[in-house]
Amino acid sequence: DVKVTQSSRYLVKRTGEKVFLECVQDMDHENMFWYRQDPGLGLRLIYFSYDVKMKEKGDIPEGYSVSREKKERFSLILESASTNQTSMYLCASSPRGGLSPTYEQYFGPGTRLTVT
Amino acid sequence: AQSVSQHNHHVILSEAASLELGCNYSYGGTVNLFWYVQYPGQHLQLLLKYFSGDPLVKGIKGFEAEFIKSKFSFNLRKPSVQWSDTAEYFCAVKRGGSQGNLIFGKGTKLSVKP
């Protein structure tokens, strides 16, 4: 079974703090993704990565950065946390896309971040 | 810009009722289509997916979806829902040939009354 794990289920941080969210997958997937999930807005892509040291902006990258130093690990960084970044953060991984019939994204359990 | 629309924000049904959740997308080229489900307190997990071939796709737990290319739709159906189907359902689209980005709809909450 594919496993995507996230470092924390719940996190409370103060405004202005630097926050690190970690994600690890154990299936040797090339692609990794960070989303935030908010009620009524669905999932919105923050950043994704197709390979080690590669990163691409998603739809809402402002206020976030990412790091992918190893294939299995993809970190999301909030440089200076703000209250509007209070949300559920979901990490996902997938094998390389294109025409692969087995392609799908596998999700972690999520980190509920509260910024006060 | 590409978008995915889910018609209903919240659907409430009684057990044994039939379910149809709408999903429309805006991209005109080749697409791959997915339905994900999130049960309360659990991970998002894949219900079913369409890549090519038979436009009627069967997934887990008795769900199915039909891809209608002319209508840009991929509606999810289940003939008889159970209380355990209470969850949030997300439609997602991947452009054919793209590396892997999915575009998600805003989700539909399904509440099934026992």
Verify whether the Cβ–Cβ distance A50 to B100 is below 8 Å: yes
Q: Which of A94, A98, A107 sits opposite B97 (nearest CB)?
A: A98
How far apart (Å, rounded) are the C-alpha atoms in residues B108 and B106? 7
Tokens of B3: 């978008």
Q: pLDDT tens for residues A25-76?
A: 998 998 999 999 998 899 999 999 988 998 999 989 999 999 999 999 999 9
Residue of B nearest to A44 (CA): B104
* Model pLDDT for residues A85-115, shown as the tens digit of each residue: 999 999 999 887 554 555 688 999 999 999 9
Cα–Cα distance measured from residue A27 to residue A1, given in angstroms and rounded to the nearest whole number: 8
Contact with chain A for residue B9, Cβ under 8 A: yes
What whole-number percentage of chain A has pLDDT above 90? 73
Residues of chain B neighbouring A90 (CB-CB closer than 8 A): 44
**What residue of B is the nearest CA neighbor of A58?**
B101
CA pair distance B70, A61, nearest whole angstrom: 34
Taking an 8 Å cut-off on Cβ atoms, the answer to whether B99 and A31 are in contact is yes
In a 3-state reduction of DSSP, which class is residue A101?
coil
What is the token pair recorded at B110?
Answer: 């399904």
Q: Minimal Cα–Cα distance from A25 to chain B, Å? A: 14
Of B45, B90, B97, the CB nearest to A43: B90
Mean pLDDT of chain B: 91
SS3 B83: helix
Compare CB distances from A40 to B9, B34, B98 and report the shortest one's residue: B9
